[in-house]
Amino acid sequence: MPEPMLSVRDVSKRFGAVHALSNVQLDLRAGEVHALMGENGAGKSTLMNILGGVIQPDGGQIQLKGNPYVVDGPAAAQARGVGLVHQEIALCPDITVAENIFMAETNSRGGFWMETSNLNARAEQALAGLHPVPATALVGDLPIASQQIVEIAKALTLNCDVLIFDEPTAALTEIESNALFSIIRGLKARGMGIIYISHRMAEIFSLSDRITVFRDGAFVETLTTAETTPEEVATRMVGRPLLDLYPPRSSRPASAVCLSVDGIADGHLVKDVSLEVRPGEILGLAGLIGSGRTETVLAICGLAPRTEGRIRFDGRDVQQADYRASIRAGIVYLSEDRKGTSVFLDLSIAENISALDLRSVSGSLFIRSRAENAVAEEMRERLGIRCSSVAQQVRTLSGGNQQKVALAKLLAVRPRVLFVDEPTRGVDIGAKAKIYAILRDLADEGVAVVAISSELPELIGISDRILVLHEGRVAGEVSGDSMSEETVMHLASGLGPAPTETRHH
Amino acid sequence: MTVSNVSVVKRLFRVREFGLLAIIALIFVVMSFASPYFLTWSNMRAVMLSFSVEGIVVIGMTILLIVGGIDLSVGSVVCFSMVVGGALFLAGLDPWTASLIAIACCGFIGFLMGQCVTRIGLHFFIVSLAFMVIVRGLCLLITKGTPQSLFSLPPAFKFIGQGSLGPVPFVIVIFVVLIAVFDVLLRRSTFFRRVYYTGSNEKAALFSGVNTNRTKVICATICGTLSGVAGVVYMARFGAATPQFGVGMELSVIAAAVIGGASLNGGAGTIAGAVLGAALLSLVTSSLILLNVPPYWQDIIRGGILLVAVTADHLLNTRKSKG
């Protein structure tokens, strides 16, 4: 067995009374992609922050190439050859891509003038293998996916021996992800050790050599990827066998169309989209970044103006963009950006849940806190929100529970059409299963559910049919047995419907 | 002390109002030993008088801070109310109508600032900075730069600023009524809940169907209106309209609101906290005077208190979020 390049032995970390990590182990070999998996709160990010020099461990030893590895900050970690690609984008929006990529170097070089042209050339080089992002563009002007690419390019220029990726594909499209994977394989071939954190099983199994699972801050097991299965890993992560992730589809016949959208455009990304939504079904909406998925839904809900097309709900024309009118009619939208646009982090669970319709918990003059709390308690029960009380600040909840609060906020108005955008982004696997079950229950109760997701297995798992968008137009629809990652990707890439004969491997 | 007792005390200290009350109580104890004059009714009356009119402005500022705004023009607007009310009265209008018009003008100034912020997309800080200068200029223009004597104000009107209900000055009665009304509104009305939503996360509020622009405009209008009310009370109290009145008032008003727990990031703040913040600053000033501290030191000490209060709150809050 080769000597590990990086070895983590019995490392512990406490935050106050909380054991974020207790005696965890990890061995990283040179030329290996080592996946680190676990539910949210399992301690993955804590360990990565320790390795990256962001926080210091309370106990245990870390060795890098046989020498003790103690670093007091990210600069020290980089000097030892350990780089970290953060999950959350940490770039300066008002300076150029090149200046961002070489921020650390510019900081340590100590020269008086910036070497702009040199930086631009080297930045282009670093970005070349990834995705064409102009080196002179301002980072703030780029879409999130391109910003993520810049973040990755920044880490690649550090010439590390150990590179840590913390959910790098969370904001990337399939194509960009694939570009990243081939780069990671290239780095691996050069003998670099790579620690890769992700919630996406498919990625882990195509990319990694070994998988280490953490649960509740403790080491569970290191598995060899070739000798295990996604089910086995999931079982290790939750500590119990996980039954079906996706709830069974309903066998009820589809009802009549309640919401029909005819040829809408928003003047930007949405060019010509028509769709129909029926009570009792879950309609999946697929498409690459830039396909106008989210923008289509924003226009339908009245959160963004539309320039063309008509929308009919219950046989009546919906006029101009007015989300408040949509809410009253029963059309609601769960945003993809949980912390940015879905919940009020500083307010309590109860105050969040009542936000869409304060009148329902108010008397003629004032909010009745008893009614407000009763609604919140009902939602807590129904969605399984884990909290000490509904007066708890939403900021203190885990990602999965915050998402349940965001969903509860919408369900409190008893919607008839529910749009959910990336409903399980950044949510652990237990909460995912719960959210899928909630969506299916809602459909069974007669709500029309429309789900957007970048995770195709998820979309295929929960949807009755999937509408695929490509560059602002409907590229096609798949349902039943014809729903597969292949058919959806084919449509999403603008290649037209996948011919059935070519579906061999 | 048992463990649960400790945690109860800790939790109480995390409630801003309790910490402020404790500090105010401490000042009372120390000062009652340090100065025999401190605990007399006339001193208490003077302290309350000194912060109750400014306290009306603090209420408006707190509301604007909660929605995520700020108003640097309050000092100028208070003065504007005084000057416009005074000028209309001198022009022959009865003082009540003159005051109502002055207050409405101030509300309109707030409304205008709200429009600049929501329609053009400017920041409250810049807009109100511009209005602070513009409105001060208007005050000088109206008065031609000289204080206007309003000796001839009828006694019934002067009662607002100078009269007493029993032993209690009427100014304090007005302040207490406004505190009570706005405290209940902020805690329980749906409009002010929307104010908290908007200040806490404007996008999430939009995505919850809240008309955030209208909410911000109304808050700015309330702040302007309350500044106008304060200006009219000052006019009745001093029987004069001075074009340089209220210079620098915005700083002490913002300090009081922030010491009382309002956040410059929006989404947090209470009326009770803001009033206690104003009371604390006023008590400190009065104590420093009683202790014969030179006036230059008073500013330094008040600034220090602001820094300490905000730091303490920040430390408590960071500890809170780490569990």
Q: CA-nearest residue of chain B to A413?
A: B208
Order of strands across the sheet that contains A210-215? A67-68, A59-64, A6-15, A18-28, A218-224, A210-215, A33-37, A193-197, A162-166, A82-85
Measure CB to CB from residue B193 to each of A303, A335, A367 and give the nearest one. Answer: A367
User: How many DSSP H helices and E strands does chain A contain?
Assistant: 17, 20
| Shortest Cα distance, chain A CAs vs residue B36, angstroms | 45
Instruction: Specify whether the CB–CB gap between A85 and A164 falls below 8 A.
Output: yes
Cβ–Cβ contact A16 with B under 8 A? yes
Cβ-defined contact of B196 to A333 (cutoff 8 Å):
no
Cβ-defined contact of B190 to A359 (cutoff 8 Å):
yes
Q: Pairing between strand A473-479 and A465-470? A: antiparallel
In angstroms and rounded to an integer, the radius of gyration of the C-alpha atoms of chain A is: 24
Check residue A290 and give its pLDDT: 76
| Shortest Cα distance, chain A CAs vs residue B197, angstroms | 7
| Shortest Cα distance, chain A CAs vs residue B224, angstroms | 24
Whether ipTM > 0.95 holds is: no
pLDDT in tens, chain A (505 residues): 567 899 999 999 887 666 788 889 999 999 999 999 887 667 888 899 899 888 899 989 999 998 999 988 888 888 888 988 877 677 888 888 888 888 766 666 666 667 777 888 888 888 876 667 888 888 888 877 778 778 888 888 877 889 999 888 776 777 778 878 888 898 898 889 999 998 788 889 999 999 999 988 889 999 999 999 888 888 888 776 656 778 888 777 778 899 999 999 998 889 999 999 999 999 999 988 778 899 999 999 999 999 999 999 988 888 878 899 999 999 999 998 888 889 999 899 999 999 998 988 998 889 998 999 999 999 999 999 988 899 998 988 888 899 999 999 999 999 999 999 999 887 877 888 899 999 999 999 999 999 999 888 889 999 999 999 998 999 999 988 888 888 888 888 877 776 654 444 4
Check residue A438 and give its pLDDT: 94
Measure CB to CB from residue B204 to each of A17, A18, A344 and give the nearest one. Answer: A344
User: In a mutagenesis test of the A interface, which of B14, B201, B264 is the best target, namely the one with the most A β-carbons within 10 Å?
Assistant: B201
Q: CA-nearest residue of chain B to A346?
A: B200
Q: Return the closest-CA partner of residue A393 out of A340, A343, A336, A328.
A: A343
Q: Return the closest-CA partner of residue B255 out of B273, B230, B281, B231.
A: B281
Q: How far is CA A362 from the centre of its chain?
A: 36
Check residue A403 and give its pLDDT: 93
Alpha-carbon gap, residue A280 to A240, rounded angstroms:
32
Q: CA-nearest residue of chain B to A335?
A: B207
Instruction: Specify whether the CB–CB gap between B230 and B56 falls below 8 A.
Output: yes
pLDDT in tens, chain B (323 residues): 344 455 566 566 667 778 888 889 999 999 989 888 888 888 888 888 888 999 999 999 999 999 999 999 999 999 999 999 999 999 999 999 999 999 999 999 999 999 999 999 999 999 999 999 999 999 999 999 999 999 899 999 999 999 999 888 999 999 999 999 999 999 889 999 999 999 999 999 999 989 999 999 999 999 999 999 999 999 999 999 999 999 989 999 999 999 988 888 888 899 999 999 999 999 998 899 888 888 888 888 888 888 887 887 777 665 444 33
Cβ-defined contact of A16 to B188 (cutoff 8 Å):
no
| Shortest Cα distance, chain A CAs vs residue B316, angstroms | 14
On whether the A243-330+415-505 domain is CATH 3.40.50.300, my answer is yes
Cβ-defined contact of A345 to B201 (cutoff 8 Å):
yes
Alpha-carbon gap, residue B267 to A5, rounded angstroms:
48
Alpha-carbon gap, residue B6 to B8, rounded angstroms:
5
| Shortest Cα distance, chain B CAs vs residue A454, angstroms | 21
Q: Return the closest-CA partner of residue A213 out of A230, A237, A235.
A: A237
What are the residues facing A474 on neighbouring strands?
Answer: A469
Q: Pairing between strand A259-265 and A273-277? A: antiparallel
Residues 6+ apart with CB under 8 A from A485: A456, A457, A460
Element spanning A309, H or E: strand A308-313
Cβ-defined contact of A351 to B196 (cutoff 8 Å):
yes
Cβ-defined contact of A15 to B197 (cutoff 8 Å):
no
Instruction: Specify whether the CB–CB gap between A52 and A155 falls below 8 A.
Output: no
Task: Note the pLDDT tens digit of each residue in A36-87.
Answer: 988 766 788 889 989 988 889 998 999 999 899 998 888 888 888 898 887 7
Alpha-carbon gap, residue B311 to A404, rounded angstroms:
34
Task: Note the pLDDT tens digit of each residue in B246-255.
Answer: 998 999 999 9
The answer to the question of residue B1 being in a domain is no
Alpha-carbon gap, residue A151 to A154, rounded angstroms:
5
Cβ–Cβ contact A356 with B under 8 A? yes
On whether the A6-238 domain is CATH 3.40.50.300, my answer is yes
Alpha-carbon gap, residue A331 to A308, rounded angstroms:
20
Provide the domain count of chain B.
Answer: 1
Domain span including residue B50:
16-321
- Exposure on the CB side of residue A395, measured as CA atoms within 13 A: 13
The answer to the question of residue B6 being in a domain is no
Contacts of B322 in chain A (CB under 8 A): 15-16
Instruction: Specify whether the CB–CB gap between B222 and B60 falls below 8 A.
Output: yes
Measure CB to CB from residue A327 to each of B184, B205, B209 and give the nearest one. Answer: B209
Q: Domain locations in chain A?
A: 6-238, 243-330+415-505, 339-413
Cβ-defined contact of A347 to B200 (cutoff 8 Å):
yes
Cβ-defined contact of A395 to B205 (cutoff 8 Å):
no
Cβ-defined contact of A335 to B207 (cutoff 8 Å):
yes
| Shortest Cα distance, chain B CAs vs residue A503, angstroms | 42
DSSP B107-152: HHHHHHHHHIIIII---HHHHHHHHHHHHHHHHHHHHTTSPEE-TT
Contacts of B184 in chain A (CB under 8 A): 366
Q: Return the closest-CA partner of residue B72 out of B248, B232, B218, B242.
A: B248
Alpha-carbon gap, residue A501 to A485, rounded angstroms:
16
Cβ–Cβ contact A346 with B under 8 A? yes
| Shortest Cα distance, chain A CAs vs residue B184, angstroms | 9
Check residue A505 and give its pLDDT: 43
DSSP A47-90: HHHHHTTSS--SEEEEEETTEE---SSHHHHHHTTEEEE-SS--
